[in-house]
Structure 1
Amino acid sequence: MELRHRALEVLRLTDPEEKALAVLDLHAQQAHYSIAADMQLPSVDPASLPGRPERPLLRHHTEVARRSPATPEGRAILIHAIAHIEFNAINLALDAMWRFAGMPPDYYRDWLRVAAEEGKHFLLLRDHLRQHHGQDYGDHPAHQGMWTMCEKTSDDVTARMALVPRTLEARGLDATPQIQNKLRNTHAPDALAAVAILDIILHEEVGHVAIGNHWYRWLCDKQGLDPESLYHELTVRYEAPRLRPPFNTSARKQAGFTETELLWLQQIA
């Protein structure tokens, strides 16, 4: 059994629970898989990726309901939106595994770890929706912004590392504490239960962004490129979303951002 080929199979799964459980199983059984790092897998119709369920209905991000935590319904919409992000993050990690050949074995193991933890996050949030709100994943519309950047960077692993984990996922480090504060202020039992889940997610997402930072810098070093100046160039070339304050400086430092990079963030804000 080969790890990258299996990652592609799991990426194609359409049932969210099946996908999350499959990636957890793959991570647990990884010792039984070989890694064909130099193997170019067969071409895949981009329209077939990622495997996704019929629901939620995908809309433009401006058409998705606001996620105020002030009411139970608002909290349900908020948790649904975060669950959708985590489901997409499973797909992003699996895509990073199968798509890019020629990386060290640890690269594939790292992204398998990310995929498994994202699967755990998704299952925690889905269970929360069911238990506290009587709802399920798919009950609210969602948007597909994260996968759009995945498609843009499908032919460049350096750009992928720069603009998915270091940009899109790093935004979660900034946003999560603010979401947690809003939930705490409601004093609702379901909100406090959600805060505890977000604690787990935030802690592990620091590690995910750190993995992106590590491999981005590894790729830059291998190509003789300056990671900081290249990052600025890539954000323009691929029209990455603009990052806005407040920034979670502590979490970003833990994830491997340099003082120069953090200063640059403050300057562009």
Structure 2
Amino acid sequence: MDSACPHEGGPLEQGDIEDLGDGKLALLCPWHLFDFCLDDGSSSTGLQNQVYDVQVYEGKVYIKTQNALSLIPMKDTEVAHCGKLSPQISGPSTSDGSLTHWAAQILGTPDPSEKVRLTEQVKTWWESGAITDIGEAEPPSQPNRKADLTVRDPGKIKRGKGGTLASRVALLHSLANIEQWAIDLSWDIIARFAKVNLSNGEPLPRGFFNDFVKVAGDEAKHYGLLEKRLTELGSFFGALPVHNGLWQSASDTSHDLLARLAVVHMVHEARGLDVHPQTLARFAAQGDEDSVKILEVLYNDEITHVAAGLRWFTYICLVEEKDCVPTFHELVRLHFKGYLKPPFNTEGRKTAGMGEEWYLPLVKPVR
């Protein structure tokens, strides 16, 4: 299991193991007592931790990650004898195998399906150790998009309320567009801020890159699920107009890592948690259970993404001796247009570690 708690990065290796009953055991984070089932990494709080299948064969340890075997390459004869195991995915073929090199490559990839494929591949390389160098690469000023997309202002995109098949398709199409941008936002924060040195002279910890590679992989998974569902409903991504509103926030915060974390990963990502209950209810009311299942996957993953943004915002503030919550308020007021709008998903935000003190002061005051 990953040793960093997905809530706020607590040291799980220092936690206690307790019996959940029914023969199941849970690891408790020593910081906030979040529980993680040792079987699948699930938590009663709604968070999800990574759990890896470990197998021993002929004195060698094989760790099966989500996408491929890692650590030790296997011979064909070993694969034949091992049954459950599959060959290791080969490493990067280019001479520049740094993480930021591939981040810039993905940002420059216009086709969303290829963007997803590359993201999953690079995530596998990073997690398996095929890529170890963070490197340094200049990201594009804006990610590439397919030329046949119709781009409009966010306010001119019509989504409907899910009461008809056409409006449900429009909602799923809008979510797929958001997920494509979310893939790019994850790679951009890696490439753009890789060489940031904190006020103590130290670079960003490797855990920062681990987290945002995982986020990129989650967003790629989300896009793939949504694209597949659009196809099942007789549509496809690109059939409807899209907007690039999320990238405006990325451009506005391209000079300041704390501002990027605050606005993109703690305001916009958290807003996704807020709209989830209503969106889910619209699809459930129409009996669209397949879409409901996808939305639940998105929601559970997005909680961990908000937690990651909060974790690194808090970490940097502590290193730079800044008061976290007032600094967050200052940056949001500076870089986010308007006020935060209720209703808020208080429970979802709380699960991600974001209490009301973070966002209620940013709501328009009642007069």
Q: What amino acid does structure 1 have at the position aligned with 2:210?
A: R
Mind listing any 5+ residue stretches in structure 1 that lack a counterpart?
none
Mind listing any 5+ residue stretches in structure 2 that lack a counterpart?
1-96, 196-202
Greater mean alpha carbon deviation, residues 56-65 or residues 143-152: 56-65
Tell me what 2:146 maps to.
53
Tell me what 1:19 maps to.
115
1:64 aligns with 2:164: no
CA contact (8 A) 1:56 1:137 kept: no
Deviations along 1:196-228, one digit per CA (max 9) or x if unpaired, are 100000000000110000000111111111111
Displacement after TM superposition at 1:142 (Å): 1.1
CA contact (8 A) 1:217 1:227 kept: yes
1:122 aligns with 2:223: yes
Displacement after TM superposition at 1:160 (Å): 0.4
The structure in which a higher percent of residues are strand is 2
CA contact (8 A) 2:104 2:137 kept: no
Q: 1:24 to 1:68 in 2, by over 3 A?
A: same
1:104 aligns with 2:197: no
Greater mean alpha carbon deviation, residues 227-236 or residues 77-86: 227-236
Tell me what 2:130 maps to.
32
CA contact (8 A) 2:211 2:308 kept: yes
The structure in which a higher percent of residues are helix is 1
Which structure exhibits the higher relative contact order, with contacts defined as CA atoms closer than 8 Å and separated by 6 or more residues? 1
Deviations along 1:39-83, one digit per CA (max 9) or x if unpaired, are 5434x552xx21211243111112111332111111111100001
Q: What amino acid does structure 1 have at the position aligned with 2:216?
A: A
Residue aligned with 1:29, SS: helix
Greater mean alpha carbon deviation, residues 118-127 or residues 227-236: 227-236
CA contact (8 A) 2:339 2:363 kept: no
Displacement after TM superposition at 1:263 (Å): 4.6
Deviations along 1:85-131, one digit per CA (max 9) or x if unpaired, are 01110000000111102321111111010001000000000000001
Q: What amino acid does structure 2 have at the position aligned with 1:235?
A: V
CA contact (8 A) 1:249 1:262 kept: no
CA contact (8 A) 1:163 1:240 kept: no
Q: What amino acid does structure 2 have at the position aligned with 1:116?
A: G
CA contact (8 A) 1:79 1:129 kept: yes
Tell me what 1:8 maps to.
104
- Alignment TM-score, normalising by the size of structure 2: 0.68
Tell me what 1:143 maps to.
243
Q: Measure, in 2, the Cα distance between the counterparts of 1:197 and 1:74.
A: 17
Matched-pair identity in %: 32
Which of the two has higher C-alpha Rg? 2
Q: What amino acid does structure 2 have at the position aligned with 1:226?
A: D
Residue aligned with 2:116, SS: helix
1:155 aligns with 2:260: no
CA contact (8 A) 2:159 2:174 kept: no
Once superposed, what is the RMSD of the aligned Cα atoms? 1.7
* Equivalent runs, 1:1-269 vs 2, <5 Å: 1-30=97-126, 31-36=129-134, 40-42=136-138, 46=141, 49-100=142-193, 101=195, 102-132=203-233, 134-187=234-287, 191-261=288-358, 263-264=360-361, 268=365
CA contact (8 A) 2:183 2:220 kept: yes
Q: Measure, in 2, the Cα distance between the counterparts of 1:263 and 1:168.
A: 15
CA contact (8 A) 2:273 2:299 kept: yes
CA contact (8 A) 2:104 2:140 kept: no
CA contact (8 A) 2:263 2:336 kept: no
Deviating beyond 4 angstroms after TM superposition, the runs of 4 or more aligned structure 1 residues are 265-269
Q: Measure, in 1, the Cα distance between the counterparts of 2:220 and 2:140.
A: 24
Q: Measure, in 2, the Cα distance between the counterparts of 1:266 and 1:154.
A: 25
Residue aligned with 1:235, SS: helix
Displacement after TM superposition at 1:240 (Å): 3.7
CA contact (8 A) 2:101 2:136 kept: no
